[in-house]
Amino acid sequence: MINRRALAVASAWMAHTFLSAASTPVGLDFIEERFRQLDCNHDGKLTREEAAGAPWFDRVDRRGTGVVTLEEIQAIARRFGTGREIATGNSPADATAAVTAAPESPREAPKILKPGERGIGRLIADLSFTDISGATGRFSEYRSGKALVIALTGTSCPLAKKYLPSLAQLEKEFAAKGVVFLYIAPTATDTPAELRAAAQENGIKGRTVHDRDAQLVAALGAQTTTEVFVLDAARTLVFRGAVDDQYGLGYSLDAPRATYLRDALDALLKGKRPPVAATEAPGCALDYTAPAAGAGTVTYHNRISRIIENNCLECHRPGGVGPFSLATYDDVRSHAGMIRKQVGRGAMPPWFAAPPAVGESSHWKNDRSLSPADKTDLLAWIAGEKTVGDPADAPLPRTFPVGWTIEKPDAVIELPNAVAIKASGVMPYQTFRVATYFTEDKWVRAYEVQPTDRGVVHHVIVKVYPPGAKAGTSGNERDAAGEREGFFAAYVPGNNHAIFPPGFAKKIPAGATVVFQMHYTPNGKATTDRTRLGLVFASEPPRHVIHVTGIANPRLQIPAGDANHPETASITVPTEVTLLSFAPHMHVRGKAARYEAVLPDGTRQNLLDVPAYDFNWQLQYQLATPLTLPRGTRVIYTAWYDNSSGNPANPDPTKTVRWGPQTFDEMMLGYVEYYIPGQTVLAQVDRGGANRR
């Protein structure tokens, strides 16, 4: 048992060791973050070495186990406060007041959510209803159309009333395209006469259902009176969330900045996935008793095929970069063992950011990890009888573009010649320079990197250099400055393009040189590749210019045999910046990575934690909500390396490893994508480069 004196000592340790500044309010979440920063090997325990031999360690570790767990620290915090009251002598009540968070803003706008956690991709039950005219219907009646939009509405919720004209306009616009709107009014006190009058006044043509007993909204899991659901012809949920961001709690705009429903319908009609598949929908909150979870049988057709389509088929299909196809029931059954292994250990789908805290949503717009429900159902189905189910429950077949994923490019830049790829072994990185011959600056609103043989292209980094700039290979310390200038475009399997939001763009200066850094991986058959870059130009200069910078330590030295060697680098931002994404880059000794921000007031914030870095997937982690940092913020990038014999990918564990361009060398790069609020195009022209900070 840890006695009261030890608990007090531990609490004092938390106050002085875990707090970045004496004025920073702390709670259990902050303590957990600081614990994880000290926990170098991410095993959930602090050793004496990780605690740097602090004198409190033996007092807390009364059982003599040699480790202190986060649970022990949190238990101390719960019992004696969160550290400050021990350090300052305040009472528990005072400490509670000290750690109380700032009041929540009264304004609430839609937030992008992780699709899998909102049921995207699931089969929606064939629900029946009676509309306000007394006619009955079922969701399956709309199978012949392109899409069914189920829009919640009402006459007593102010936000629901505001969105009626917007819904009427979208209904009119998409009616000729095979999209049908069905309106559900879940407020019991709304009357059919009021609903009928509101529909007539706003030009609503679709059927309206008064869901007095909340059966429909309960079955859908709806949360507010402004939420919309988009179903395809097979009743697969493809979008759920807000119509747009014009109205929210506590604010109104003249026009929307983000048109979520319109974008989802446009994508669906083109056979594509919505750019944003799930958001919050600020409105009047609903209160109902959710139906008890049924014991319905999970089958391939009603559940598993949709999980595979949404998470696996992008790579695992005929012609895809995956080693085998998962396009059919027989494919999935035949590879069930490997699916169970890779999904169970978290290697597939490839996503390596630390999961959010319990009860929190993902911070990442492109989070590819399976939701807990999807993972549970998939693994349970594999462990069971692998029931096929009713083919009528199958989703619509997912199609993939044969040409460009983005729209037809305005310009295509390709490697000068086809590159010969040998059948086996390894190939060093190769660099190719291509002149653009653009006579004027170009603003790029979408790009796509397209190998001609995706099976041998591991990843591609594309950089843009203005006239007169040195386009080096960054192969030594002197050239590493080029890495700090970031990149223009990137390719990894399953992530080969970017479409920037309206008003955002990257710049290619007139007369620029485009540099392709190619990493090829022979796959058993000699072949050739001539990768190309497709560009879609904006019709006018952007509101925001997207930059990328790299936080680098070119003087890294990774000792031979060291299984957990950290390296750190940082930058201090010279002006206010808004962060968009992160992309850690190391080679085969890379083990883990972390981005942190230290604000001017000393507050420390964890930006991204990658506890298990995988060189085979050079992922970009895109923030669901861009994060603005004030001038003077220090952004710290820490990378850990495994240079031991226990790392099977290590080319030589007896070698001290330094900076270099090849996989047997190492790099320590933390790319950050951002824009500067209020920056003008003129300022960007004066800076003279698409990749400069």
pLDDT tens figures, 451-472: 999 889 988 999 999 998 776 5
Tens-digit pLDDT profile for residues 250-259: 889 999 999 9
Specify whether the CB–CB gap between 46 and 68 falls below 8 A. yes
Q: Copy the structure tokens of residue 234.
A: 């097979």
**Would you say the C-alpha torsion 355, 361, 365, 366 has a positive or negative sign?**
positive
For residue 53, pLDDT over 70 is answered with no
Nearest to 276 by CA among 625, 525, 666: 625
Task: Give me the domains of the chain, ranges plus CATH numbers.
Answer: 4-98 (1.10.238), 115-269 (3.40.30.10), 300-393 (no CATH), 411-687 (2.60.120.230)
Tens-digit pLDDT profile for residues 521-558: 898 899 999 999 999 999 889 999 999 999 999 999 99
**C-alpha 15: how far from chain center:** 33
Residue 3 or 56, more confident? 56
Q: Which pLDDT score is estimated for 361?
A: 83
Tens-digit pLDDT profile for residues 330-379: 999 999 999 999 999 888 999 999 988 877 888 999 999 999 999 999 99
Give the Cβ contact number of residue 62 at 10 Å: 12
What type of residue sits at position 617?
Answer: W
Q: In the chain, how long is the greatest CA-to-CA distance?
A: 81
Could you tell me the pLDDT band of residue 66, with boundaries at 50, 70 and 90? confident
For residue 268, pLDDT over 70 is answered with yes
Could you tell me the pLDDT band of residue 197, with boundaries at 50, 70 and 90? very high
Average pLDDT for residues 43-51, to the nearest whole number?
70
Q: Copy the structure tokens of residue 398.
A: 């997912």
Tens-digit pLDDT profile for residues 212-223: 999 999 999 999
Specify whether the CB–CB gap between 618 and 490 falls below 8 A. yes
Tens-digit pLDDT profile for residues 20-34: 333 333 445 555 655
User: What is d(CA 264, CA 266) in angstroms, rounded to the nearest whole number?
Assistant: 6
What percent of the chain is modeled with pLDDT above 70?
81
Nearest to 378 by CA among 116, 687, 112, 200: 116
* Antiparallel, parallel or unpaired: β 147-152 and 228-232: antiparallel
Phi, psi of 94 (to 5 degrees): -65, -40
Nearest to 209 by CA among 236, 174, 230, 182: 182
Phi, psi of 657 (to 5 degrees): -100, 135
Tens-digit pLDDT profile for residues 272-292: 899 999 999 999 999 887 766
DSSP 683: H
Q: Which pLDDT score is estimated for 293?
A: 56
Compute the mean pLDDT over every residue in the chain, rounded to the nearest whole number.
84
**CA separation (Å) from 307 to 173, 204, 221?**
32, 35, 19
